[in-house]
Amino acid sequence: MMTEAAPSGACLRGTQVHKRFDDDMIAIDTVDLDIAAGQFVALVGPSGCGKSTLLRLLAGLTTVTSGELTVDGLTPRQARAKERRLAYVLQDPTLLRWRRVRDNVALPLELRHLPTTEVQQRVETALQWVGLEDVGQMYPQQLSGGMRMRVSIARALAAEPSLLLMDEPFGALDEITRQRLNDELLELWQKRGFTCLFVTHSVHEAAYLSQQVMIMGPRPGRITAVHQVPFAHPRSADLRTSPAFAGFVRQLSADLTQAMAAEHA
């Protein structure tokens, strides 16, 4: 059964993380991480800087070349194998066209061979969390882009993850839909207590969502700056138009520009 209490978040630790691919391309170079349980962290940087590679390392989909990376003291692959540890949301919702919404959300739970009644209960609860309990019998192609992304998020949350990895999940959406999903994601995070590492190209989105923003320079990926976000949660839509928010976004933009300039100097 899905628990009523929010699951505790996962602690992420990384020491001198280095990732070199078989073609000798260095994607990640000496990255250190220290992300507390339940924290919402945004990762911002130019295309190809290693943001997605870092998420793949944390998801246990590939392994570090050197250094150490852990999720709650486990290797990412151990954490991924452990029930309820982590979930991964991509920019493309990756829904199966021939499966209804409810069946798409259920798929990862079915692959874990959970009891049918537990799968059904988790699916219905997750759909309620994202406000899609009325579209469970529809197919993905019948939904808008924003609704498909909410189905993808429901699929991830159905596993009750301690760590939610999100790789530019709202990048392809229009601005109004993107802002609405930002607010919905924050509400879910506050209710459920998972740790979230959110990759984005948008410094505005990073500043609005997160408690901490990490900036990466161009490949090989390094963390060039870390900013604590000076705005308390919960956040209102009015924050986006405040002078303080604009000033913080300018600071993030300047650091990102400086990182890119230093790489090409």
Report pLDDT for 263: 57
DSSP designation for 140: G
pLDDT reading at 124 higher than 70: yes
The per-residue pLDDT for 3 is 43
pTM listed for this prediction: 0.91
Lowest mean pLDDT among 20-24, 112-116, 133-137: 20-24
**Residue 41 bridge partners (DSSP):** 197, 212
Q: φ and ψ at 215, to 5 degrees?
A: -110, 130
What's the pLDDT at 68?
95
Kindly list the domain boundaries of the chain, sorted by start residue. 12-85+161-264
For the stretch 199-237, pLDDT in tens is 999 999 999 999 999 999 887 888 999 999 999 999 988
| 264 has a pLDDT exceeding 70 | no
Instruction: For residue 212, list its beta bridge partners.
Output: 41, 228
Contacts of residue 265, defined as CB under 8 A and 6 or more positions apart, other chains included, come to: none
- State the pLDDT at residue 262: 60
- Residue 63: what are its φ and ψ, rounded to 5°? -120, 155
For the domain bounded by 12-85+161-264, which CATH number is listed? 3.40.50.300
Position 85 pLDDT exceeds 80? no
Least confident of 7-11, 66-70, 162-166, 188-192: 7-11
Query: Which are the contacts of 247, defined by CB distance < 8 A and separation ≥ 6?
Result: none
Mean pLDDT of 49-56: 91
* pLDDT top residue among 46 and 227: 227
Backbone angles phi, psi at 224, to 5 degrees: -100, -20
**Amino acid 1: pLDDT:** 39
Instruction: Give tens-digit pLDDT for 152-176.
Output: 999 999 988 899 999 999 988 889 8
Comparing 53 with 3, which gets the higher pLDDT? 53
**Is the CB of residue 158 less than 8 Å from the CB of residue 114?**
no
| Band of pLDDT at residue 19, cut at 50, 70 and 90 | very high
CB 4 within 8 A of CB 50: no
